[in-house]
Structure 1
């Protein structure tokens, strides 16, 4: 019988039952599902993995090689004589981070991996397939914006630190995200992140919108619909909603793609702990949003924060980009 590695997982209170139920009630009350609720069950993790396998540029041969080339160039910029800690915020199944670690291993004297995710199943998947030995892996089950998680990561140890954000920037308000990153990263820390882009001819709003429309098929498909509506089945409210709809909205000069359903009838929905949600017929419940950026708009956003751009790579189809930043 094959032995199974044991990973002691640190769990923060973002995943306690009381916090979970309160966040569930609050997001339903404001008509917007928190993104973390799309990754919390084994079924959701499986459905997300199907979307990732089919639509992520990383899963295509050219995309994989582009990431590998970018990581190799990043490794040339880091000190080979220093031990490092790679801290992955929202690691998912960890495939990009594993590739990065494989490039780091020959380049630095030592490396440890701290991986944070809201899905226990994906977190364990990331740990099991990590190229590092078990004792060098520190998994944390938490919301990456949870205050206690941020405090835990604020104080640098003896190692130099590289943070990664793969697949996170599109699904969190970028201002909330970078406010948190500003508090966590110490001067000199590195940040590697990817961004989903809208392929554009120019920075005009008309071309930006046209670029967004050209990638709608990546969201308006059966796999994504199954994944995003799983939360409704899990919460027992699927039959109370209807009209799954993909649309485009703009917030703070960035377009984002949104998935929305609508309440079928006026009524009250019991949510446990004595709480009842009153809903109106036809009122929207947004399931999901995904920002699509342009390089210039995104770099203008970066300039508002204490980070410098060390390098960037825009993929040939202009639908994905990778940025290498350093905290000032």
Structure 2
């Protein structure tokens, strides 16, 4: 392997990234993609994922992914298959699915898409021995205007399994699922994961998992963005809380609470953050199996299989487009 060809979508061209960064600072709501940009940030996130993700630490969580992958593979009758990993991260889950597809298909094509170039390259190392052709794409799922063209350009109309693992929590769910539903063709499958609130009481379930977010690894990862902008450790603290949106969906948020005024110069524009101001640096939605089914059904996506881990904190859903 002498190198890698990676497509950079226009949503991640310098002028687009600059606009998104300035908008994040003006609105005091940081776009999550800015936590994955550099190799340093990607390494911190991978360490956090390795240490705290249920998919890595909970045997029952690993089982539900394996069950979902097996079910998806059984739905595919074609001798050739394209797996499109949207928000591929480090690529471990995608590689596990590809091993099953490799065992039954004569041709396996893989697209790895993420907002982070370091993560696309990391994932490519995981999947390269398992595929006949691979395509790397750096793209912002939230803003790209060409998602269908970008993903479809590589598969020659092969049947697809589209994966969306670990991405839904950090997006407003309805707009993202609308984009994904438009991407799917009638014979495509969607495998999507969600962070869930355990138990029958939604509010109590979110309260129960709140401590999982407030740890040294998460704080270190999130604060890297602010430190790189020019903030100092003494400028304020991260505070985690629970919010309820207009649809009564609950999410855990992290705000940086400014204790002393800080000015930063970004892209030749000066920003002042006075003491007492709050900057939202992160949010993570927690769903239930019922809210997930409702969100998917709104986009004409039928859930044909679902798997929950033993603690009911993680779910995987296998979907296809509803018949017209």
Residue 258 (str. 1) matches residue 253 (str. 2): yes
CA deviations over 1:196-245 (Å, ceiling 9, x no partner): 001022xxxxx211111111121011011101111011211245741210
Indicate if the aligned counterparts of 2:89 and 2:119 stay in contact, CA closer than 8 A: yes
Aligned to 2:49: 52
- TM-score (norm: length of structure 2): 0.92
Residue 187 (str. 1) matches residue 182 (str. 2): no
> Closer, same or farther in 2 for the Cα pair 1:238/1:174, shift >3 Å?
farther
CA deviations over 1:110-143 (Å, ceiling 9, x no partner): 2100010111111111111215467511001121
Indicate if the aligned counterparts of 2:61 and 2:314 stay in contact, CA closer than 8 A: no
Indicate if the aligned counterparts of 2:79 and 2:104 stay in contact, CA closer than 8 A: no
- For the residue of structure 2 that corresponds to 1:193, the secondary structure is strand
Indicate if the aligned counterparts of 1:5 and 1:134 stay in contact, CA closer than 8 A: no
Indicate if the aligned counterparts of 1:229 and 1:238 stay in contact, CA closer than 8 A: no
CA distance in 1, matches of 2:10, 2:168: 23
Aligned to 1:117: 114
Aligned to 1:281: 275
CA distance in 2, matches of 1:128, 1:86: 16
Matches within 5 A, 1:1-328: 4-60=1-57, 61-79=59-77, 81-132=78-129, 136-145=133-142, 146-153=144-151, 157-201=156-200, 207-239=201-233, 241-251=235-245, 252-266=247-261, 268-273=263-268, 275-328=269-322
- For the residue of structure 1 that corresponds to 2:185, the secondary structure is coil
CA distance in 1, matches of 2:276, 2:30: 17
CA distance in 2, matches of 1:299, 1:15: 31
Indicate if the aligned counterparts of 1:38 and 1:227 stay in contact, CA closer than 8 A: yes
Which has the higher mean CA deviation after the structures are superposed, 124-133 or 89-98?
124-133
Aligned residues: 318
- For the residue of structure 1 that corresponds to 2:16, the secondary structure is helix
Which runs of no fewer than 5 residues in structure 2 stay unpaired? none
Which runs of no fewer than 5 residues in structure 1 stay unpaired? 202-206
Shift of 1:150: 4.1
CA distance in 1, matches of 2:125, 2:48: 21
Indicate if the aligned counterparts of 1:244 and 1:260 stay in contact, CA closer than 8 A: yes
CA deviations over 1:71-90 (Å, ceiling 9, x no partner): 112211221x3411101110
Shift of 1:300: 1.4
CA distance in 2, matches of 1:258, 1:193: 22
- For the residue of structure 1 that corresponds to 2:291, the secondary structure is helix
Indicate if the aligned counterparts of 1:82 and 1:160 stay in contact, CA closer than 8 A: no
- TM-score (norm: length of structure 1): 0.91
Shift of 1:152: 2.1
CA distance in 1, matches of 2:167, 2:301: 18
